[in-house]
Structure 1
Amino acid sequence: MRTKDKLSRFFHHISHYQAVFLLFVMLLGSYQVSAQVPRSRVDQLSDEEVENFYKRAQSSGLSEAQIEQAAMSQGYTLDDIAKMRRRIRDLRTKSSRPQNLTSVDPKTTGRTLPDDLSSRQDSLNTARRDTSRKLRVFGASLFENANLSFEPNLRIATPRNYVVGPDDEIRIDISGASTGEYQLKVSPDGTVKVPDIPAIFVSGLTIEQAERRIIERLRQGGYEGLGRAGSGTSANVTLTNIRSIRVTLVGEVVRPGTYTISSLGSAFNALYLAGGPNPETGSFRKINIIRGNRIIRTIDLYDYILRADQRDNIRLQDQDVIRVADYDTRVELTGQVRRPAIFELLPGETLKTLLAFAGGFGDDAYRASITLRRNTNRERRIINITEEQVATFAPQRGDKYFVGKILDRYENRIQVSGAVMRPGDYALEPGLETVRQLINRAEGLRKDAFMNRATITRERPDMDRENLSFDLGKLMAGQIADIPLMRQDSLSILSIRNLREDYYVTIQGAVNKPDTVEFVANMSVADLIAKAGGFEEGAKPNLIEVARRIRQDSAGVRSTILEMYRFAVSRNLEISPLESPSTNSLENATGFRLQPFDIVYVRTSPNYELQRQVYVSGEVMQPGNYAISNRQERINDLIQRAGGLKPGAYMPGAQYRRQGQVIGSDLRYVLDNPNVEENLLVNDGDTLFIPRRSEIISVQGGVLNPSSVSYKADYDFEDYISEAGGFTDNARKSKAYIIYPNGRKDRTHNFLFFKSRPKVEPGSTVVVPFKPLDTNRLTSAERIGILSLLATVSIALINVIIR
């Protein structure tokens, strides 16, 4: 067996370090200039050079601590090595940190999260989720919110009671008469190492206790008076990089297990990672934090949800256990409360506490009684809880409470509507108990109130309604006794307008805005014409008629059904005397006033017409729009006004259209003989188109090759059919016809065995119709069936005859 002493073991390790050590020394030495301090040597290295050094160190199989020890043995300071180490760690963190972990820039905060923290797996968020109930368990949504992760804030000052442990990093800044900077990492055995000073044990101490111990050792190591008043030297001890801890969650949580969290993490942070208590079975009010097999805190999440109390959200320590117990008592509260849900209750809590959890009664809640459905050993039973019992009533497991809604009715309401100044709802109370008092409270009757009758709609004890009518005028005058009112009474006072048709007057004819308007008393004919925007340009003011309904009743049937009045109104709306229908005498027209339903007619002057025009286009000298100058203007007059025809005009193809349709006519005869019937009177909107001669003949319909061919003077109808390939099998040859370019049509004429085809002119269209489909024709199968039937019948008849 081979043995080695300590010295030989040291040289054995040094032999492995030589390659990396030389690399480290050469890397730092290559940037060293004359009399530079160690700080400048590390700061001059680029990130790429530091990363290359780190990769080479990794490939050698040496750890960072081994490289640092080798560098210190060659005279490099602890500060120089710490800076190099920080830069290597920062580069490694940037390249390896998962996307769902956040980091803090050490240049701004001096603190970062560990790399190995657990993260919540939202993809497992559906595990053991309650899907059978419509009501949610109160508090279950707290840990389902992705924006509420309870992660610790790294930017806060280090808590003075923070317990230091392995992997924490402590920074020491010495300033004043002496300076120094140390970045110390707590080793697995709980110590930190300051150069030239024995290892300092800090694990398990608070940061405040660790600071005092480190400063005390620094005083012994050469920093005399450090941190003492008047010494001129001070030290600042801070926590930079923090460690991770492992906590275990057991019991009724959504995802039990062991989680790695920051050493600054709290109980809520760990519960969030585990998905919180299981809504089906877990308790939201009995969550125990166990440290060293002893319960140190019990969390009630209702304190946080309802009062934002975080006293129980303590910081966790390594190997802490969080246990979520089973719930003991859960009850349902629904109906008119602010937060209907399933709530968990602890012993000693009452129905009043439950209502407080639900936010209290809703605005429309019926508070006099709460309905409870409670389970018994065999079945359920109903319990009505009065308002006085709420404060002392003790809920039991499985209770279901329902808060009803108040009735949609009033205990003291009376109503008034119609012709009063302030209709609406009023309270039945002393001083407001009769009809007259209600009308006075509504600020009295309107002037249009119908005084002969008013009605009260009253609710009977059996909920039916009855009508009570009375003479309103006599009641208000004191001639009859005032009527007492009851709850739910509704007083209706009619207006005189409610008992008649809506009054209106109408104006029609040559006014700018003919309309039907609301009748207003004392309105004259001139007033109505002014309301209609005045006369149109073509109005005939000296002939205004008013048609009035006959209102007088008579024993017999009158021969006249209306009363007519005639006026002469100037354009300044001055009315001349009128002719009375009763006396046929002239009276003063200024006193004439319109009555409801009158209709005023304003006639148009017989010689007033709007301009009418026709459009001429094609082969004329002056195409364009032409106004119709007189009532006798015809097509030939229109052509003459257009300057006559151009030399290329083709009159057999001229088309005259009215309302978009071609009027079939041969206009070439119109120019030669204007007295022919085809010389039509022109109307507004007519169009005349005179084309050039067309050299195309179109053949359509039942031919083998429908197409357009050139016109040939020596071709007849049959020749053009041949040009299109001849007739098809289903062509109706005898019905072939031609459409001339002027819109006229001519058909084939048949006489005995002779056929007379129409003449073909340039621009014509030859049309051959198709035979109609024979939908009644029998199929082959049908014909065979009929023949078989006939054969069978024939054989049967023969047999009968022979017998």
Structure 2
Amino acid sequence: MTNVLPAAEQDLPPPFGANLFVGGYEANSVDGVNADYRIATGDKIAIWLWGAVSVNDVAVVDAQGNIFIPEIGPVKVIGERAGDLHRLVEKQIQRIYTQDVETYVNVLTATPVSVFVTGPVLRPGQYAGIASDGLLSYLKRAGGIDSERGSYRHISVQRNGKTIADFDLYDFLLKGTLPNIQFRDRDVIVVGQQGATVVVEGGARNPFRFEFANTKAKGNELVTYARPLAKVSHVGVQGNRETGPFSVYLDFSKFEDISLHDGDTVFFKDDLHAQIMNVRLQGEYLGPSFYTVNKGTRLHDFLNHIAVSADESNYQSIYIKRRSVSIKQKEMLDQSLDRLERSVFTAPASSDGEAVIRAKEAALVTEFVARARQIQPEGKVIVADNGNIANVRLEQGDIVVIPKRSDLINIGGEVLMPQAVVYNPNATLKDYVAWAGGFTERGDAERIAVVHANGMVSFNRDQKIKPGDQVLVLPYIDSKNMQLAKDITQIVYQIAVAANVVL
């Protein structure tokens, strides 16, 4: 089978669960006096009696697990929950004082314990804490599990040479379950060596390095851990087997039964090409604005399903906004701006005076370039001319614009009073400019753009203005450098055409 998979990257992703040891919770240990804390030797317990008898004492749990209460005697408390301690002691007191005696019992301090942490952790050693501190707290004090050598799935707690608990942190990461044990002095936490691992890449919510409980695992187990995205259609597996390099590419439905080995890399891929597209409507129309169409649908087929009002819609001037065209226009604009910057900063100066002019000119051009780079082209595709609409193939994300029928002419750019005026069939381009107050000092009478309702931009001064058109007077470019003036003029034209903006 031909290997169609990408090569695995040199840098492996972090293991699943590595961020467990990022927080600072090892410094947030409580005193161990929560309700589930188990009483241990050396704990200090405050006892108050009032009423028929008065006692105010602090008892220490002795080596036999008892506390001694005057006039009552020893009471065994070792191993009892802190939340049950009051009821236990009160019951013993009421055996002697049957009435008129009130009792209050509280655990003051928990006895510190010393726990050893060893195995592939960053700082193995002996760490102080309290009995109710959890496994994660002690592992964090030891710097966390070594991501290259340590196991997140095989962690044991040993007491007197015997294993009393086994931990699999994946149960905690996936389900929130973690065995609850109370540590004792000289307990040992042993982190096992890292087992078989599989690297997940591509379309997964958890793109990490996963460790299996055994040397091999099925694909369905990895699916549970990695949580592939809904769009995933195929899975690639790359690794090594006893027979040599191994590579397979299969449907996602068949991945659950495949056997994974140590060192495999799994790629979750969206390899099905969508057969439908999303197309939107803007402007003046009747009905919804969002449509789902089959791939390959053409404009005429789409428009056959669109209702418009003949009185309100200028349906003969339809145009399309297309993202791919917008991106291409942006690339061409950026290339022109790059050339302009190079011509400015590399232009020679024959004298000191000319050098000063060049420096000032460069500062102005730099400001112009910065503003021009912020322009985002609209990506217009002209499909209508004189009422004829081209039957172009639609693309994903196209926006079909049906202009609103208008009786106004908008005049902007380098005019004194940018405004909208009512269309006059007998008026010329000069008339509309005059109605907007005429040219500014920077206005160029030779460079006037007319943006038609169908999106087409024309620079013909003798053209006939139509209802709904937009008139843009471009600025006059003054420069001592002929090439510089030519480049800036070209960019101004590009922006006017691509974004209907005068810069």
1:170 aligns with 45
CA contact 1:450–1:493 (8 Å) conserved in 2: no
Distance 1:316 1:489, change over 3 A: closer
**Residue among 233, 237, 257 paired with 1:372:** 237
Query: Aligned equivalents of 1:474 and 1:216: distance in 2?
Result: 98
Distance 1:517 1:207, change over 3 A: closer
What's the offset of the Cα at 1:403?
Answer: 1.4
1:427 aligns with 293
Q: Which moved more, 1:209-218 or 1:289-298?
A: 209-218
**SS of residue in 2 equivalent to 1:240:** strand
1:760 aligns with none
What's the offset of the Cα at 1:335?
Answer: 0.8
Which amino acid is 1:372 matched to? Answer: V
What's the offset of the Cα at 1:236?
Answer: 2.7
1:342 aligns with 209
1:520 matches 2:423: yes
Counting matched residue pairs gives: 357
Distance 1:382 1:169, change over 3 A: same
Query: Aligned equivalents of 2:153 and 2:267: distance in 1?
Result: 23
1:438 matches 2:302: yes
Identity between Structure 1 and Structure 2 (%): 19
2:181 aligns with 314
Query: Aligned equivalents of 2:141 and 2:233: distance in 1?
Result: 45
Deviations, residues 47-89 of structure 1 (Å, cap 9, x unaligned) = xxxxxxxxxxxxxxxxxxxxxxxxxxxxxxxxxxxxxxxxxxx
**SS of residue in 1 equivalent to 2:20:** helix
Query: Aligned equivalents of 2:394 and 2:183: distance in 1?
Result: 66
After superposition, the CA RMSD in angstroms is 5.1
**SS of residue in 2 equivalent to 1:271:** helix
Distance 1:494 1:350, change over 3 A: closer
Distance 1:505 1:532, change over 3 A: closer
1:287 matches 2:287: no
**Residue among 153, 157, 166 paired with 2:30:** 153
**SS of residue in 1 equivalent to 2:257:** coil
What TM-score comes out, normalization by structure 2 length? Answer: 0.56
Alignment of 1:308-707 (within 5 A): 308-310=176-178, 312-347=179-214, 349-358=217-226, 360-362=227-229, 365=231, 367-377=232-242, 379-406=244-271, 410-413=274-277, 426-428=292-294, 437-443=301-307, 447=314, 449=316, 513=416, 520-522=423-425, 531-532=435-436
What's the offset of the Cα at 1:165?
Answer: 0.6
Which amino acid is 1:427 matched to? Answer: V
CA contact 2:159–2:186 (8 Å) conserved in 1: yes
Query: Aligned equivalents of 1:274 and 1:307: distance in 2?
Result: 25
Query: Aligned equivalents of 1:426 and 1:472: distance in 2?
Result: 29
Give unpaired runs (5+ residues) of structure 2. Answer: 1-9, 319-382, 404-408, 439-460, 467-503
CA contact 2:32–2:131 (8 Å) conserved in 1: no
Query: Aligned equivalents of 1:490 and 1:206: distance in 2?
Result: 67
CA contact 1:248–1:257 (8 Å) conserved in 2: yes
What's the offset of the Cα at 1:494?
Answer: 12
**SS of residue in 2 equivalent to 1:449:** helix
Deviations, residues 473-498 of structure 1 (Å, cap 9, x unaligned) = 8999xxxxxx9x999799999999xx
2:14 aligns with 136
**SS of residue in 2 equivalent to 1:353:** helix
**SS of residue in 2 equivalent to 1:153:** coil
Which amino acid is 1:531 matched to? Answer: W
What's the offset of the Cα at 1:136?
Answer: 0.8
CA contact 2:199–2:208 (8 Å) conserved in 1: yes
**SS of residue in 1 equivalent to 2:137:** helix
CA contact 1:350–1:393 (8 Å) conserved in 2: yes
Query: Aligned equivalents of 1:420 and 1:215: distance in 2?
Result: 82
Distance 1:339 1:213, change over 3 A: closer
Which amino acid is 1:172 matched to? Answer: I
Which amino acid is 2:246 matched to? Answer: R
What's the offset of the Cα at 1:274?
Answer: 1.2
**SS of residue in 2 equivalent to 1:390:** helix
Query: Aligned equivalents of 1:491 and 1:204: distance in 2?
Result: 74
Query: Aligned equivalents of 1:135 and 1:158: distance in 2?
Result: 40
Query: Aligned equivalents of 2:122 and 2:56: distance in 1?
Result: 47
What's the offset of the Cα at 1:521?
Answer: 2.9
More strand by share: 2
Distance 1:426 1:246, change over 3 A: closer
Query: Aligned equivalents of 2:184 and 2:393: distance in 1?
Result: 74
Name the larger-Rg structure: 1
Deviations, residues 642-683 of structure 1 (Å, cap 9, x unaligned) = xxxxxxxxxxxxxxxxxxxxxxxxxxxxxxxxxxxxxxxxxx
CA contact 1:419–1:448 (8 Å) conserved in 2: no
What TM-score comes out, normalization by structure 1 length? Answer: 0.37
Query: Aligned equivalents of 1:210 and 1:175: distance in 2?
Result: 18
Looking at both structures, which has the greater relative contact order when contacts are Cα pairs under 8 Å and sequence separation is at least 6? 2
What's the offset of the Cα at 1:387?
Answer: 2.0
Query: Aligned equivalents of 1:294 and 1:261: distance in 2?
Result: 21
CA contact 1:202–1:210 (8 Å) conserved in 2: no
CA contact 1:329–1:396 (8 Å) conserved in 2: yes
Alignment of 1:101-112 (within 5 A): none
Query: Aligned equivalents of 1:490 and 1:178: distance in 2?
Result: 85
Deviations, residues 398-449 of structure 1 (Å, cap 9, x unaligned) = 1100112446x642449799999589865139xx978754322133686462
Query: Aligned equivalents of 2:301 and 2:112: distance in 1?
Result: 82
Which amino acid is 2:207 matched to? Answer: P
1:297 aligns with 165
2:327 aligns with none
Distance 1:433 1:320, change over 3 A: closer
Query: Aligned equivalents of 1:342 and 1:157: distance in 2?
Result: 37
Which amino acid is 1:324 matched to? Answer: V
1:274 aligns with 142
2:351 aligns with none
Query: Aligned equivalents of 2:120 and 2:283: distance in 1?
Result: 70
What's the offset of the Cα at 1:314?
Answer: 2.6
